[in-house]
Amino acid sequence: MSDQQWIEIYKSDLQSYSLQQLRQITSQGAWSLSQLYNHLILAALDYLDQVEICATAGVEQMLGKTEAGKELFKLGGFPPIKIKLPDGPENTPSNSESKEDLRRGLDQVLQRMREWEGKLDRINPNYKAKHDGFGWLNAKDWFDLVGMHFRHHLRQKSELEQKLGL
């Protein structure tokens, strides 16, 4: 299944949630489905901004990935573990978006992915942007990170749905 098909599944599932289900926090320290969707959209749009930065870099970067970055891309995705972000407002996604806002966000991610998809092979692979954890990534790496991130959160989405009785 393509990464864009996974995002379409998120989009389809979004329509089946009530606003109450979408915003309900099932346990202390957990996110709501709305916060999960918000996190995925904002991260994906940031990754796609990095694709654009790589595409227009104009200067080759010979530094590469960190060990964590090499492992991530070797695996083709994040390991099946929970990753806890540090507490703080910058790591607490909004829980107030409407279903329509979230749908529009997913549509924007899909549109931008379609725009870049056919251009990636023409971008110099040595034009890179730095990821704090994974090192220097090129446009294709950043693009692939979008799908890896959505796939990584499928388990969390499923757990939240189970807790909500969906």
- What is the DSSP track for the chain? --HHHHHHHHHHHHTTS-HHHHH---STTPPPHHHHHHHHHHHHHHHHHHHHHHHT--S-----B-HHHHHHHHHTS--SS--PPPSSGGGS--S---HHHHHHHHHHHHHHHHHHHTTGGGS-TT-EEEETTTEEEEHHHHHHHHHHHHHHTHHHHHHHHHHTT-
Per-residue pLDDT of the chain (166 residues; tens, 9 = 90+): 888 899 999 999 999 999 999 999 998 888 999 999 999 999 999 999 999 999 999 999 999 999 999 999 999 999 887 777 776 666 789 999 999 999 999 999 999 999 999 999 999 999 999 999 999 999 999 999 999 999 999 999 999 999 999 8
User: Superfamily for 3-163?
Assistant: dinb family like domain (1.20.120.450)
Say what the pLDDT of residue 83 is: 74
Say what the pLDDT of residue 90 is: 66
Cβ atoms of 41 and 105 closer than 8 Å: yes
Q: Could you tell me which residues come within 8 angstroms of residue 52 by beta carbon, excluding any fewer than 6 positions away?
A: 116
| Cα 143 off chain centre by | 10
Say what the pLDDT of residue 7 is: 95
For the chain, what are the domain ranges?
3-163
